[in-house]
């Protein structure tokens, strides 16, 4: 288990579609442990493997910091079975330090994924839990939360995006 650096906007790995993994592979368990360690250190609620430089279809979610008893899970090889009506809500992203945006995303979703023991699970989620799962799912497909911004809104955050990209080009991580 190790804490890793979180890749910043501008790093090509964030735009790379991740590949499926074998849940039984010891490397998968080690990556999940690293993701949880990194997420905990960053005080986040979700983290995808490509955010730490691994193009594997894995992400972790830990809502227990925000909601006592909230879910904490590793999601392997996920697929969205169904997504509900889109609504606007505020999101941040560990690859975009300090940048919070209103993002349109489904309020409800059904997600199917594998667990570390290889079993398949299907969850129906709503609210913050749905938003986090869908945000991290997008990461696995190389899609970032800034991608859906209108041209006007993107211009409003352009200076901040350039600043983050400059940090990334210097080799910094979050």
C-alpha distances (whole Å) from 96 to each of 71, 100, 164 are 24, 8, 7
Res 70: pLDDT = 81
State whether residue 156 is helix, strand or coil: helix
pLDDT tens across 110-125, in order? 999 999 999 999 999 9
Task: For the chain, give the percent of residues with pLDDT over 70.
Answer: 99
Residue 18 CB neighbour total at 10 angstroms: 20
Alpha carbon distance 130, 80 (integer Å): 11
Identify the H or E element spanning 166. Answer: helix 151-169
Catalytic position from the list 91, 107, 136, 172: 136
Alpha carbon distance 27, 97 (integer Å): 28
Res 65: pLDDT = 77
Res 64: pLDDT = 87
pLDDT tens across 48-61, in order? 999 999 999 999 99
Alpha carbon distance 144, 114 (integer Å): 23
DSSP string, 17-64: PPB---TTSHHHHHHHHHHHHHHHHHT-SEEEGGGGT--BSEEEEE-T
Q: Annotated catalytic, 136?
A: yes
* Region 74-100 average pLDDT: 97
- Report the Cα–Cα distance between both ends of the chain, in Å, rounded: 18
Nearest to 53 by CA among 116, 5, 96: 5
Task: Identify the structural domains of the chain with CATH numbers, from first to last.
Answer: 12-169 (3.90.45.10)
Q: Which conformational region is residue 142 in: left (phi greater than 0), alpha (psi within -120 to 50 degrees), or beta? A: left
């Amino acid at each position: 288990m190790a804490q890793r650096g979180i890749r910043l906007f501008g790093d090509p790995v964030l735009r790379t579609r991740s590949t499926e993994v074998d849940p039984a592979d010891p490397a998968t368990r080690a990556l999940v442990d690293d993701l949880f360690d990194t997420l905990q250190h960053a005080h986040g609620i979700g983290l995808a493997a490509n955010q730490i430089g691994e193009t594997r279809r894995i992400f972790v979610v830990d809502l227990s910091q925000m909601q006592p008893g909230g879910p904490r899970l590793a999601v392997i090889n996920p697929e969205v079975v169904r997504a509900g009506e889109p609504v606007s809500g505020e999101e941040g992203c560990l690859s975009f330090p300090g940048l919070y945006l209103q993002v349109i995303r489904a309020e409800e979703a059904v997600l199917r994924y594998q667990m570390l023991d290889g079993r398949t699970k299907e969850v129906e989620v709503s609210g913050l839990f749905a938003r986090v799962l869908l945000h991290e799912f997008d990461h696995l497909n190389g899609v970032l939360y800034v991608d859906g911004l209108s041209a006007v809104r993107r211009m409003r955050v352009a200076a901040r995006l350039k600043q983050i990209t400059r940090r990334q080009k210097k080799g910094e991580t979050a």
